[in-house]
Amino acid sequence: MYSFDYARAKNAKDAAKLLAKKEAKVVAGGMTLLPTMKQRLAKPSLLVDLAASKDLKGIKKAAKALTIGAMTTHAEVAHSSVVKGACAALAALAEGIGDPQVRNRGTIGGSIANNDPAADYPAACLALGATIVTTQRKIPADKFFKGMFETALKRNELVTAIQFPMAEKAAYIKFPNPASRYAIVGVFVAKFKDEVRVAVTGAGPGVFRVPAWEEALAKKWSADAIAAGAVKAADMNSDIHATAEYRAHLCAVMAKRAVAAAK
């Protein structure tokens, strides 16, 4: 780790101000950022800690949407009765991230700002059609996730909350990498009154939707509607754990299981 300065932001606005300093970076749970710094792959001059920014925390349910503050930890989402009631699939997803230590520190804001191509939350955001609320604007999930580790966020822009519309049914099924337990393939399906959305994480260079499955499921909500072949091996990642063919195959298997499990 290189040496760096440290500041604790009082709230989101304060954090955005502190971020103006060159090479400054916010730290949320630190579960991704600190290991990267230890490996000397990141070299922030100033770490702006969001831990004391109470305005970034909390879970609220309104008629149409569930709002989760950026600094809400995975464990808080997993154990929240509000989340369980509004979207059990989201709570279950959070419970499946990493290990207890990671869940007690890692945050939803950090996870989506980081946009790891194998992370779980981006699939939920995309499939549920979430809105990412930032210090500057509201960004639909469809426009937020850009490619590997890239988002629509500008340099001084912070995620403050995520608003999830309520689905009739939803489920997330993850095929974990045996070593890291990140997703080799994770599929989130969400059924709304007038549409179905399917998002896949882990399989490709970034989280993506599968229109063919969405249309098929909108016509007929059944695991049989998932046709293999809609996800092509040519678009998949390949590594020692899973070839592109295997990933493409797993996408269909996980999607079917998600439809069958959706509540």
Ligand X SMILES: Cc1cc2nc3c(=O)[nH]c(=O)nc-3n(C[C@H](O)[C@H](O)[C@H](O)COP(=O)(O)OP(=O)(O)OC[C@H]3O[C@@H](n4cnc5c(N)ncnc54)[C@H](O)[C@@H]3O)c2cc1C
* Residue 75: its H or E element: helix 74-79
Report d(CA 106, CA 96) in Å as an integer.
12
Partner from other proteins, ligand X, none contacting 120, C-beta within 5 to 8 A by type: ligand X
Strand partners, 5: 46
- Neighbouring CB atoms inside 10 A of 24's CB total 19
The footprint of other proteins (CB under 8 A) covers 1-3, 39, 175, 177-180, 240-243, 246, 249-250, 253
The nearer residue to ligand X, 105 or 169, going by C-beta atoms, is 105
Q: Contact between 98 and ligand X (CB under 6 A)?
A: yes
Residue 173 C-beta: closest distance to ligand X, Å = 13
Residue 134 C-beta: closest distance to ligand X, Å = 7
Binding mask 104-143 for ligand X (x = CB under 6 A): -xxx-xxx-xx-x--xxx----------------------
Report d(CA 233, CA 53) in Å as an integer.
43
The alpha carbon dihedral of 241, 28, 63, 86 has a sign of positive
**Alpha carbon distances (Å) from 128 to 59, 86, 96, 145, 194:** 16, 12, 18, 14, 13
Following DSSP, what letter does each residue of 120-152 receive, concatenated? SHHHHHHHTT-EEEESS-EEEHHHHEEETTEES
Report the relative pairing of strands 65-69 and 159-165 from DSSP bridges: antiparallel
Strand partners, 68: 59, 162
Residue 231 C-beta: closest distance to other proteins, Å = 15
User: If you compute the radius of gyration of the chain from its CA atoms, what whole number of angstroms results?
Assistant: 18
The nearer residue to other proteins, 13 or 249, going by C-beta atoms, is 249
* Interacting residues with ligand X between 145 and 174 (CB under 6 A): 153, 158-159
Tokens of 200: 């896949």
Residue 183 C-beta: closest distance to other proteins, Å = 13
Partner from ligand X, other proteins, none contacting 28, C-beta within 5 to 8 A by type: ligand X
Residue 161 C-beta: closest distance to ligand X, Å = 9
Partner from other proteins, ligand X, none contacting 199, C-beta within 5 to 8 A by type: none
The nearer residue to other proteins, 128 or 258, going by C-beta atoms, is 258
End-to-end CA distance of the chain: give it in Å, rounded.
45
Binding mask 28-67 for ligand X (x = CB under 6 A): xxxxxx----------------------------------
The binding site for ligand X (CB under 6 A) comprises: 25-33, 70, 97-98, 102, 105-107, 109-111, 113-114, 116, 119-121, 153, 158-159, 181-182
